Amino acid sequence: IDDTVVGRTVTTAAIVKGLTQTKDRNQKSMAFVELFMGDGSVRAVCFSSKWSALRKYLKPGTLVLAQIEKTGRGYTLQEVMPV
């Protein structure tokens, strides 16, 4: 995923290693999610617009199919589906 071009979205199987829930500048819930993909881990932000719908799938130890967008600042979690 590190070799992915900025702006591209990658779909991959991953294990949720951990997450840190926080608030955005508007005091809405969001999270930073650590995903392990076999060849390494990434820390992706899950913004408030997605967090409420995706949080039920993002439990540590859970295997998921994740859509991750590479941005100029890191990675953004776009979609998660349980496996």
pLDDT tens track for 28-64: 999 999 999 988 899 999 999 999 999 999 999 999 9
Whether the predicted pLDDT of 11 surpasses 90: yes
Q: Chain-wide mean pLDDT for the chain?
A: 94
Q: What is the pLDDT of residue 49?
A: 93
- The answer to whether 35 touches 14, Cβ cutoff 8 Å, is yes
Q: What is the pLDDT of residue 1?
A: 75
Whole-model pTM: value is 0.89
Tell me how far apart the alpha carbons of residues 24 and 26 are, in angstroms, rounded to a whole number.
5
Q: How many CA atoms lie within 13 A of 80 on its CB side?
A: 25
Q: What is the pLDDT of residue 76?
A: 96
Tell me how far apart the alpha carbons of residues 27 and 25 are, in angstroms, rounded to a whole number.
5
Tell me how far apart the alpha carbons of residues 79 and 68 are, in angstroms, rounded to a whole number.
7
